[in-house]
Amino acid sequence: MINSIYLLKTNGILLYSNNYTEVKYDNDILIAFFASIENFGREALQSAVRFIDLGREEKLILLPLPEDELILAAIVNNRDDNDLILTILENISQEFITLYAPDYNMEKVEKNEVEQIIQGAIQKRTSLPIFYRILISWLVLVPIAILVTYLNIILTLDYFQSSAYLEQTLYTQEEIFTNILPQAAVISSAEIIIVFALPNFISGYIVLGKKIGILNSLLYLSANLFFYFYYVDPIFFYIIVSFIPLVLIVSIGAEDIGYRIGKRRKIINNPEFDFSKLKQKFKR
């Protein structure tokens, strides 16, 4: 989340600022800090300094625009993607420059108008609250799970029914080790990837929370095991259990990839779910 945002001229004159947290910042100190960093990058490094870790799970992201004599700065959560925040700042700067360039007169800068520009740029790129993300993920996961399970069963049965080895009642040791077991391993691995990779990737992309995403993966695995054992065919249950290490690697890996791609597109709104607030709601 964006905790605070600042728009200032390169000479240090503050045009607009807003702090969205309870933590109070001294604007004069921050403005001097932003200007000194911009000058240091330009004079000493011959390049712009864009990202600075501030500690306390916060970082500073700077967007210097020397041609327009502007500097945009945002203090954000460490989880937020740097390029995403820069894109938001660029969108804000374009509208601000259109309205107030070239003089950027402080007296003409309308606070409410600038805030509407900022909120419009932020809201387009902000995810839903975590509770709704979890709900949506399961509304998507359930039909996908049914579909991939159905396809998995059909394709597996079709393969074995068309296999030349099905007509045999006895197999030689060579056939078992060179044909039957390798085919079974390939089919089982493909089955696990189909059943667990895609749903967990989508879950990670929607949920946008590592801990909740892993919990979602484990719940999805448990639901699949229960479903396969009691309603489909126990043989699929035993296949999954025998490949549990691969299942966990595929599930958590796909969830993590989805999470990483998702956070490049959305600011994470309330990334950690507060269970204490949920308990208070139920008590009421």
Total length of the chain: 284
- Would you say 3 and 14 are in contact if contact means Cβ atoms under 8 Å apart? no
Q: Quick one: average pLDDT of 257-281?
A: 70
Q: pLDDT tens-digit profile of 106-142?
A: 888 888 998 999 999 988 888 888 889 999 999 988 8
Cis peptide before 102 (omega within 30 of 0): yes
Same domain as 134, residue 120: no
Question: CATH number of the domain that 115 lies in?
Answer: 3.30.450.70
Q: Which residue has the tokens 């420059």?
A: 97
Q: Centre a 10 Å sphere on the Cβ of residue 239 and count the other Cβ atoms it contains.
A: 19
Tell me which DSSP letter residue 129 carries: P
Domain span including residue 276: 130-283
Q: pLDDT tens-digit profile of 176-219?
A: 556 655 666 676 677 777 788 888 999 999 998 888 889 988 99
Residue 163 has pLDDT above 60, yes or no: no
Q: Which of 83, 102, 124 is the last residue of a domain?
A: 124
- Would you say 265 and 125 are in contact if contact means Cβ atoms under 8 Å apart? yes
Identify the residue with better confidence: 219 or 66: 219
Q: Quick one: average pLDDT of 239-249?
A: 80
Return the pLDDT at 171: 57
Same domain as 115, residue 145: no
pLDDT band of residue 273 (cuts 50, 70, 90) is: very low
Return the pLDDT at 124: 87
Share of the chain above pLDDT 90, in %: 17
Distance CA 69, CA 72 (A): 10
- Would you say 195 and 149 are in contact if contact means Cβ atoms under 8 Å apart? yes
113 DSSP β-pair partners: none
Q: What is the pTM of this model?
A: 0.74
Same domain as 135, residue 119: no
Same domain as 279, residue 154: yes
Same domain as 103, residue 221: no
Distance CA 90, CA 87 (A): 5
Instruction: Give the count of domains, the chain.
Output: 2
How high is the mean pLDDT of the chain?
79
Return the pLDDT at 238: 74
Same domain as 32, residue 145: no
Same domain as 273, residue 134: yes
Q: Quick one: average pLDDT of 57-64?
A: 86
Q: Centre a 10 Å sphere on the Cβ of residue 96 and count the other Cβ atoms it contains.
A: 23
Q: Which of 60, 90, 124 is the last residue of a domain?
A: 124
Same domain as 168, residue 104: no
Q: Identify residue 135 by its one-letter amino acid code.
A: L
Q: Which of 101, 124, 147 is the last residue of a domain?
A: 124
Same domain as 143, residue 104: no
- Would you say 77 and 127 are in contact if contact means Cβ atoms under 8 Å apart? no
Residue 105 has pLDDT above 80, yes or no: yes
Residue 103 has pLDDT above 90, yes or no: no
- Would you say 98 and 61 are in contact if contact means Cβ atoms under 8 Å apart? no
Q: Quick one: average pLDDT of 130-158?
A: 80
∠274-125-269 over CA atoms, to 5°? 5
Widest CA span of the chain, in angstroms? 91
Same domain as 85, residue 159: no
Same domain as 118, residue 143: no
Residue 135: which H helix or E strand, with range? helix 130-162
